[in-house]
Amino acid sequence: MPAHDVRCAQCDLLQRLDELHAGQQASCVRCGHHLCSVPLHPFDTPMAYALTALILLLLSCAFPLLNLHIAGVESEMTFFSSAKALVEADFGIVANVLLSCVLLTPAMFLCAVIYLAMALKWSIHLPGMRSVLRLAIRLEPWMMADVFVIGILVSLIKLASLAQIGLGLSFWAMLLFSIALTKTVTVFDVHWFGFQLDHLDGLPAQQLREKGAKSCPVCGFFNAHNAEKCGRCHAKIYSRQPHSVAMTWALLLTAVLLYVPANVYPIMITESLGDSVPSTILEGVVLLWNMGSYPVAIIIFVASVAVPLVKFISIALLCIAAQSKPGKSALHYTKLYRMTELIGRWSMVDVFVVVILVALIHMGKLMSVFPGVAAVSFAGVVVFTMLAALSFDVRLIWDAHPSNENK
């Protein structure tokens, strides 16, 4: 990749990106944000991982994930039976979250990567390539196959003392799929693919010195100050995201309000021999602790109780920092923002545990598990905190802290 100018998407620093060769990467000189990396095999590597992940995703849907034996009764769970069980229990919203985050979103992302990699490798102009690039970028934060795998493992430990659990072929396919998907995300570099897309269309590398020019919030492409749409991915552009802080506050407040019923009402109801036992998130943690499953109890407590609270506090601090000028540096708050983005989706693990138990334990009056209303509320908490983090324009921090950015 030849040398060209680039503006950091997080601290908005304009800087010169030196020529990069295969295997090299570059980061922002001020905040350390990743700018670009060039894989050793720029097109073959993303295509190979994406194809592998897509095949494994199909296999994970074709066979049972888990099977359970208890008191002479056998039950098995597939990916689609999980969604069906939720729909039959009138929890279609949770079923949509499961299908979207574990199946549809990753499948669309992988197809987008394959589409772009094939076109760029053989220099073929395919329709809608710029829109496909924008779609891939938008989808990336919402893929939760790895969280679903952790949910399966937690469910195994919770059921180990109650029944005999077997791992189906689809479990191993799902495990390998989550690894291949993670690797695909790692080698799919947005800046590199966008740069090659510009090169395919014969666009020269822009020199970003134009006064008032704006970088695209989606792909990072630099546009003229009067441009309304990005010249690379066709997304709407703006110097700063409109109403960013107000939108973030609104989404954060919604998540906080949902957090109350998510912890007060039962997230799961177990019926056994005519008795109905509802359990909240904290009751589930206490039960696991009393059973001696200390690591699982800690994982559920951290993911379902501590992490949402940390996200609430972190996002609130970011909004306050963008509207005032406290003593901490802009780099400090930027790192806080990255941490909030990183941990956002992992709170979904408790929802996935409920999904798995509902799909696996349906043995009539002997024992059955049903989702509680808190499952919907808690899924909402995760979604709205993620939306709050995504709606926050971290560049506002650097605007509010021009004098202490290097502390």
pLDDT of residue 38: 83
The angle subtended at Cα 91 by Cα 87 and Cα 95, nearest 5°, is 65
CB 388 within 8 A of CB 285: no
pLDDT of residue 258: 95
Mean pLDDT value of segment 22-30: 86
- pLDDT above 80 (res 156): yes
Mean pLDDT value of segment 131-145: 91
d(CA 182, CA 184): 5
Look at 22-36, 263-277, 303-317 and tell me which has the smallest mean pLDDT: 263-277
Alpha carbon 314 to chain centroid, angstroms = 18
Look at 8-22, 146-160, 175-189 and tell me which has the smallest mean pLDDT: 8-22
Q: For the chain, what is the total number of helices (H) and then of strands (E)? A: 16, 12
Q: Which amino acid is at 122?
A: W
Q: For residues 331 and 227, which has the higher predicted lDDT (pLDDT)? A: 331
Mean pLDDT value of segment 394-402: 83
- pLDDT above 70 (res 405): no
pLDDT of residue 406: 44
- pLDDT above 80 (res 358): yes
Mean pLDDT value of segment 5-18: 82
Helix (H) or strand (E) holding 238: none
Mean pLDDT value of segment 57-66: 92
Q: For residues 54 and 205, which has the higher predicted lDDT (pLDDT)? A: 54
Mean pLDDT value of segment 7-14: 82
Q: For residues 367 and 392, which has the higher predicted lDDT (pLDDT)? A: 392
The pLDDT > 70 percentage for the chain reads 90
d(CA 98, CA 247): 26
Q: For residues 282 and 407, which has the higher predicted lDDT (pLDDT)? A: 282
**Residue 145 CA: distances (Å) to CA of 56, 160, 173:** 12, 23, 11
Residue 406: CB atoms within 10 Å: 8
Using alpha carbons only, how large is the chain's radius of gyration in Å?
23
Task: Please write the tens of the pLDDT for every residue from 218-265.
Answer: 776 777 667 778 777 777 777 788 889 999 999 999 999 999 999 999
Q: For residues 398 and 180, which has the higher predicted lDDT (pLDDT)? A: 180
The pLDDT > 90 percentage for the chain reads 35
- pLDDT above 50 (res 153): yes
Mean pLDDT value of segment 72-80: 83
Give the full edge-to-edge strand order of the sheet including 275-279. 275-279, 268-272, 368-371
- pLDDT above 70 (res 63): yes
Mean pLDDT value of segment 20-26: 83
Mean pLDDT value of segment 154-169: 81
pLDDT of residue 204: 56
- Tell me, what DSSP letter sits at residue 366? S
Matching residue, tokens 């922002």: 28
d(CA 82, CA 155): 13
Q: If phi over 0 gives left and psi between -120 and 50 gives alpha, with beta otherwise, what is residue 195?
A: alpha
pLDDT of residue 211: 54
- Is domain 241-407 annotated with CATH 1.10.760? no
For residues 334, 255, 247, 403, the Cα torsion angle rounded to the nearest 10 degrees is -20
Mean pLDDT value of segment 93-121: 94
Look at 111-125, 213-227, 293-307, 353-367 and tell me which has the smallest mean pLDDT: 213-227
Q: For residues 253 and 39, which has the higher predicted lDDT (pLDDT)? A: 253
pLDDT of residue 57: 96
Query: Distance between the two ends of the chain, CA-based, in angstroms?
Result: 33
Q: Which of 249, 53, 39, 221 is nearest to 143 (CA)?
A: 53
Matching residue, tokens 């502390």: 407
Q: Concatenated DSSP letters for 303-326?
A: IIIIHHHHHHHHHHHHHHHHHS--
Q: Where are the domains of the chain?
A: 42-185, 241-407
Q: Which residues contact 194 (CB under 8 A, 6 or more apart)?
A: 133, 219, 220, 221, 232, 233
pLDDT of residue 402: 64
Average pLDDT, the chain: 85
Look at 18-27, 59-68, 140-149, 211-220 and tell me which has the smallest mean pLDDT: 211-220
pLDDT of residue 379: 93
pTM comes to 0.88
Look at 127-141, 166-180, 217-231 and tell me which has the smallest mean pLDDT: 217-231
Strand 14-17 relative to strand 66-70, pairing: unpaired
Matching residue, tokens 């509802």: 278
CB 53 within 8 A of CB 102: no
pLDDT of residue 207: 47
Q: Which of 402, 397, 404 is nearest to 333 (CA)?
A: 397
pLDDT of residue 251: 96
Buried b (16+ CB within 10 A) or exposed e, 305-344: bebbebbbebbbbbbebbeeeeeebbbbbbebbbebbebb
Q: How confident is the model at residue 407 (pLDDT cuts 50, 70, 90)?
A: very low
